[in-house]
Chain A
């Protein structure tokens, strides 16, 4: 999984920004969402991404993993990530 061809990511003080340059749509990201996208950019499938996030941040109740999975699915449905 990786960011789609026309999608650019940049970290910002507030979190991050995704710019889909074909449609010229801009998505602002919270720090958590930006952390997920940063891991997606590093490569690997959804479960690898989630596993790395869990390794990096505390996730005692599994909430982070669940939210990240949901967020990745949302990115995929918007065409912002692909294989």
Chain B
């Protein structure tokens, strides 16, 4: 039997939410990001670069920068440059609105693995209805500029009741735009999505059609563009993670580390602790009765998922 994540000395993948500040106010944002929503205690430039250096020493091979909108972090470019110089693979998860053609070329020069642009919809009505303050044409322009620069592009699509039917066309557009991958999955009903649930949550029938279309599109584009999607709901995913913790953790804008986005459990603080210490706490966290009981309660009361955003944070005992 191959060694599981617990045998690794450090994570293989780190998802780093650089800032909670965002230029958009998306109805489904699990982080409740938006204008003026930066945490008061976000890592400073020096602290962020220090954390990056420690991740590099721990030989974390793969890093994604997200947010909020990661490009709003004052040290965004320095962090990408530093990660690139340390030969870490970097993915940027962005709404694309702040990307200029020069930025796209710079990302190409820095050798980023991919820029993932959120583009949920096949046209402005659904996209702009979900991504409040966003402009469909602007996001498409960013994708085209990335493609022109030769920077690998991926598209991320969050399904809602008013865009799920467009997914087939959205996959086709992604291919036409030259995307290397198309990513989707169930929208987690937490954060803003819990507040707007009635407006956005797809029905099970919609999800059935949505995933059927994605399965068809995955076959249609096989070998030409990756169509990746997770059909598991949050409870199923949490149960899977309890048995098989992934070799990844999530860094919040203030340096605290979460077991997984959707849960409130904090397993460490990279402002004060080393990567290996936090990694050990992460692995212990997935084994802790506190987390198992929490997931078990969610299973008994799935409505509790909608209240996850009310938990500020829970430090593991």
Which A residues are closer than 8 A to B by beta carbons?
Answer: 6, 8, 10, 12-14, 17, 19, 21-22, 24, 26, 28
A6 & B2 in contact (Cβ 8 Å cutoff): no
Query: Is B223 an interface residue, CB under 8 A from the partner?
Result: no
A13 & B9 in contact (Cβ 8 Å cutoff): yes
How many residues on chain B are close to A (CB under 8 Å)? 14
B residues less than 8 Å from A19 (CB atoms): 12, 61-62
B7: contacting residue among A13, A21, A24, CB under 8 A:
A13
A26: contacting residue among B59, B113, B247, CB under 8 A:
B247
User: Which residues between 155 and 198 of chain B lie within 8 Å of chain A, taking CB atoms?
Assistant: none
Query: Is B221 an interface residue, CB under 8 A from the partner?
Result: no
Closest chain-A Cβ to B130's Cβ sits at a distance in Å of 26
Binary contact readout B1-26 vs A (1 if CB under 8 angstroms, 0 otherwise) = 01100011110110000000000000
Which B residues are closer than 8 A to A by beta carbons?
Answer: 2-3, 7-10, 12-13, 59, 61-62, 89, 113, 247
Q: Given A14-B3, A14-B7, A8–B113 Cβ distance below 8 Å?
A: no
Closest chain-B Cβ to A19's Cβ sits at a distance in Å of 5
Task: Indicate the member of B10, B61, B62, B113 with the most A CB atoms within 10 Å.
Answer: B61
B3 & A26 in contact (Cβ 8 Å cutoff): no
- Chain A residue nearest in CB terms to B61: A8
B residues less than 8 Å from A8 (CB atoms): 61-62, 89
Closest chain-B Cβ to A36's Cβ sits at a distance in Å of 17
B61: contacting residue among A12, A13, A21, CB under 8 A:
A21
A10 & B59 in contact (Cβ 8 Å cutoff): yes
Closest chain-B Cβ to A75's Cβ sits at a distance in Å of 17
16 A-B contacts (beta carbon < 8 Å):
A8-B61, A8-B62, A10-B10, A10-B61, A12-B9, A13-B9, A17-B8, A19-B12, A19-B61, A19-B62, A21-B61, A21-B62, A21-B89, A24-B13, A26-B12, A26-B247
A28–B13 CA distance with the chains assembled, in angstroms: 15
Closest chain-B Cβ to A15's Cβ sits at a distance in Å of 8
A10–B113 CA distance with the chains assembled, in angstroms: 19
- Chain A residue nearest in CB terms to B58: A10
Q: Given A14-B3, A28-B2, A28-B3, A22–B61 Cβ distance below 8 Å?
A: no
A residues less than 8 Å from B113 (CB atoms): 6, 21-22
Q: Nearest 4 A-B pairs (CB), nearest first?
A: A8-B61, A21-B89, A28-B2, A10-B59
A residues less than 8 Å from B9 (CB atoms): 10, 12-13
A6: contacting residue among B12, B89, B247, CB under 8 A:
B89
A12–B7 CA distance with the chains assembled, in angstroms: 8
B residues less than 8 Å from A21 (CB atoms): 61-62, 89, 113
Closest chain-A Cβ to B52's Cβ sits at a distance in Å of 16
A26–B114 CA distance with the chains assembled, in angstroms: 18
A13–B10 CA distance with the chains assembled, in angstroms: 11
Closest chain-A Cβ to B112's Cβ sits at a distance in Å of 11
A17 & B12 in contact (Cβ 8 Å cutoff): yes
B residues less than 8 Å from A6 (CB atoms): 89, 113
